[in-house]
């Protein structure tokens, strides 16, 4: 692990060049500060000599001040050049890293495209569409409503189940007629909360009786 970390933190020639430029800039910055102090001092000395009436020394102080100002202007220009050069190098390094990243990404895309051809994608899309269509057909079949005849068969089967359960719950009454047993069955079903179905059965029974009775002359 130590070897890997050492390689990762290794200073390249580009890093060293940028570092050297920044060191030079810092030196010029410190030099400029000293020049500023010298210029300010010469300015004060010129004022002092002039106040004493010594114009010759005042003029000499101003000349030294002018010379220091020339040096300051040159160093400031050098600092500007160093800043621009440092920025250009750093920008070029960033662009190089971006280029390397794009190249690596392009290579990965090429490898992925080799693993996933266009024909494979088309086949997968076709299979997916067929699976969706098949599922839709199943859903449609399951959601289709039953016919009227099938609904009637279901209702009839339910009636038979109810009648069987009700008959099993009734106590045996010796000598009871079929009408009496049916009446008891209907009463029990009404108590169990099925009045609508019982009303229909009562109406059907009355109709059957009326049809079976002989008509009076």
Split into its structural domains, the chain has a count of: 2
76 and 157, same domain (yes or no)? no
Does any domain span residue 5? no
Does any domain span residue 137? no
Does any domain span residue 152? yes
Identify which has the larger pLDDT, 86 or 187: 86
Q: What is the 3-state secondary structure (H, E, C) of the chain?
A: CHHHHHHHCCCCHHHHHHHHHHHHHHHHHHHHHHHHHHHHHHHHHHHHHHHHCCHHHHHHHHHHHHHHHHHHHHHHHHHHHHHHHHHHHHHHHHHHHHHHHHHHHHHHHHHHHHHCCHHHHHHHHHHHHHHHHHHHHHHHHHHCCCCHHHHHHHHHHHHHHHHHHHHHHCCCCCCCCHHHHHHHHHHHHHHCCCHHHHHHHHHHHHHHHHHHCCCCC
Mean pLDDT (whole number) for 185-201: 53
Does any domain span residue 143? no
Name the DSSP class of 11.
P
- Give the tokens for residue 6: 């050492």
Does any domain span residue 97? yes
Q: What is the pLDDT of residues 120-141, one digit of tens each?
A: 778 888 888 888 888 888 777 7
102 and 153, same domain (yes or no)? no
Which residue shows structure tokens 């250009």? 88
Does any domain span residue 185? yes
Does any domain span residue 2? no
Q: What is the pLDDT of residues 42-76, one digit of tens each?
A: 999 999 988 888 889 989 999 999 999 999 999 99
95 and 51, same domain (yes or no)? yes
Supply the range of the domain harboring residue 109. 12-117
98 and 189, same domain (yes or no)? no
- The pTM for the full model equals 0.43
Model pLDDT, residue 208: 46
Does any domain span residue 133? no
Among 95, 117, 139, the domain boundary falls at 117
Q: What is the pLDDT of residues 67-125, one digit of tens each?
A: 999 999 999 998 899 888 888 888 888 898 899 999 999 888 888 877 777 777 788 88
Q: What percent of the chain has pLDDT over 90?
A: 12
- Give the tokens for residue 37: 């102090």
């Amino acid at each position: 692990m130590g070897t890997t970390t050492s390689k990762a933190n290794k200073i390249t020639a580009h890093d060293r060049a940028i570092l050297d430029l920044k060191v030079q800039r810092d030196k010029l910055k410190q030099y400029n500060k000293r020049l500023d102090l010298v210029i300010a001092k010469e300015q004060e000395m010129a004022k002092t000599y002039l106040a004493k009436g010594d114009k010759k020394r005042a003029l000499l102080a101003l000349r030294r001040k002018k010379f220091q100002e020339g040096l300051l202007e040159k160093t400031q220009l050098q600092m500007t050049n160093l800043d621009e050069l440092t920025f250009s190098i750093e920008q070029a390094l960033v662009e190089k890293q971006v280029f390397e990243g794009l190249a690596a990404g392009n290579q990965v895309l090429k490898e992925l495209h080799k693993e996933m051809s266009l024909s494979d994608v088309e086949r997968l899309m076709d299979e997916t569409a067929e699976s969706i269509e098949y599922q839709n057909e199943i859903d449609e079949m399951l959601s289709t409503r039953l016919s009227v005849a099938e609904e009637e068969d279901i209702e009839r089967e339910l009636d038979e189940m109810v009648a069987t359960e009700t008959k099993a719950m009734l106590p045996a009454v010796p000598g009871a007629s079929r009408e009496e047993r049916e009446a008891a069955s209907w009463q029990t079903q009404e108590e169990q909360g099925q009045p609508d179905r019982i009303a229909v059965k009562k109406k059907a029974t009355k109709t059957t009786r009326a049809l079976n009775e002989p008509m009076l002359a």
